[in-house]
Amino acid sequence: MTQIYQASCTAPVNIATLKYWGKRDTKLNLPTNSSISVTLSQDDLRTLTTASCSSSFEQDTLYLNGEPHPIDTPRTLACLADLRALRAELESKDDKLPKLSTFKLRIVSENNFPTAAGLASSAAGFAALISAIAKLYELPQNSSELSMIARKGSGSACRSLFGGYVAWEMGELEDGSDSKAVEVAPVDHWPEMQALICVVCDVKKDVSSTSGMQLTVATSDLFQERIKNVVPKRFIEMKKSIIDKDFAKFAELTIKDSNSFHACCLDSYPPIFYMNDTSKKIIKLVNLLNEAAGKIIAAYTFDAGPNAVIYYLKENENKVLGLFNKVFGHLEGWEKAESLKSKFEILEKFPI
Ligand code: DP6
């Protein structure tokens, strides 16, 4: 019997509070700006990946949520090639190591949340894939070094290599060797932080992030202003607000950055709309909530789709959830009568 080597890892979903939108190099997946995210708790939204390899396996195989998937995309192939090269380097230095780099891989990956829910599944997916194979290969690289491989799979995936508050530093070098994720603060730095995920629509988005951001880079003037004059300052301020645990500042910057990103989408030609009417109702509701409180107690952010993530502190949970339940609870009747597209449901409330 030939031996099978195996390792498993989980990686959580991360939600950007300062958005990555735009690539300066599509092959290496290098961004036009640095970004920041909050990684959700491992217990809630995560991908679990098991990687195994053996001299008896005949080809690389991948199963996602029980379905076989071909491993033929340039991004996945680039990740596997990088990981194998690092393993081969170890093997070249130590004769006793089994030659895992030459074996075919079997990868089995499961999400514990509906993939169709429009949540950032590719980020958790690539992060778990890279972590599981790195563990299988016993690679000595740290999370930042591995994040550079995950980045080639999907940009936002590099941030899911860390828990808590994470920055993806865009870097300056042409080979991408300084474009990596780093920890801003661990999760226990700010345990009061909560995230409410509102699934407005679970239909797959019509413009993918990858193509949407390239259209924005090519056509939006507003985007040029964003990357030159807005994001660099915001990146520094947001990191400081996290370190200082200044919720009002963090929330203001998060809201402004979501608005700025969606404004750039609208400024693309032809325009891209990710938010729908229910998303706009959520924005109004958060504004009302903050006005009524006399200070910012909740922040919304929207990725490349209509679903919202609301950040708030535990001390304001009753206010935030109370209002959301009241408003959307009332609307349930007619919301249901409308198509599923405008249905709003609180998927769950997640501690970070
Ligand atoms: C709006 O990481 O999905 O969620 O690198 O092309 O795979 P690719 O794009 P992806 O883009 C995420 C865009 C975003 C913002 C963010 O997560 O920072």
pTM: 0.92
Higher pLDDT, 204 or 319: 319
Q: Which pLDDT score is estimated for 11? A: 95
What span, in angstroms and rounded, lies between the C-alpha atoms of 156 and 91? 31
Residue 302 in contact with ligand 1 by CB distance below 6 A: no
What span, in angstroms and rounded, lies between the C-alpha atoms of 259 and 313? 21
Contact between 119 and 45 under an 8 Å Cβ cutoff? The reply is: yes
Q: Which pLDDT score is estimated for 120? A: 64
Q: Which atom of ligand 1 is nearest to the CA of 37?
A: 18
What span, in angstroms and rounded, lies between the C-alpha atoms of 52 and 148? 22
Residue nearest to atom 11 of ligand 1 (CA): 209
Residue 210 in contact with ligand 1 by CB distance below 6 A: yes
| Residues facing 47 on adjacent strands | 11, 111
Residue nearest to atom 6 of ligand 1 (CA): 210
In degrees, rounded to 5, the angle at the alpha carbon of residue 149 between the alpha carbons of residues 195 and 232 is: 60
DSSP code per residue over 65-88: TTEEE----HHHHHHHHHHHHHHH
For the chain, the average pLDDT equals: 89
- What values do phi and psi take at 176, rounded to 5? 80, 10
Higher pLDDT, 10 or 206: 10
In degrees, rounded to 5, the angle at the alpha carbon of residue 344 between the alpha carbons of residues 292 and 127 is: 100
Contact between 267 and 223 under an 8 Å Cβ cutoff? The reply is: yes
Q: Which atom of ligand 1 is nearest to the CA of 168?
A: 18
Residue 102 has pLDDT above 70, yes or no: yes
**Exposure of 188 by Cβ count < 10 A (0-12 exposed, 13-18 middle, 19+ buried)?**
exposed
Pocket-testing residue among 209, 217, 223, 265, ligand 1, by greatest number of atoms within 8 A of Cβ: 209
Residue 122 in contact with ligand 1 by CB distance below 6 A: yes
Q: Which atom of ligand 1 is nearest to the CA of 75?
A: 7
Q: In sequence order, which ranges of the chain are alpha helices (DSSP H)?
A: 74-93, 121-136, 143-153, 209-219, 221-225, 231-243, 247-266, 277-293, 317-330, 332-337
Q: Band of the pLDDT at 335, cuts 50, 70, 90?
A: very low
- ipTM of this predicted complex? 0.99
Distances in whole angstroms, Cα of residue 319 to Cα of each of 177, 246, 280, 293: 45, 19, 20, 9
In this predicted model, what pLDDT tens digit does every residue of 228-282 receive, in sequence order? 999 999 999 999 999 999 999 999 999 999 999 999 999 999 999 999 888 998 9
Handedness of CA 134, 139, 142, 144 (dihedral sign): negative
Residue 116 has pLDDT above 60, yes or no: no
From 205, 215, 230, 220, select the one nearest 263 (Cα to Cα): 220
Average confidence (pLDDT) over 314-319: 91
Residue 331 has pLDDT above 80, yes or no: no
Say how far residue 323 (Cα) sits from the centre of its chain: 27
Q: Which atom of ligand 1 is nearest to the CA of 304?
A: 1
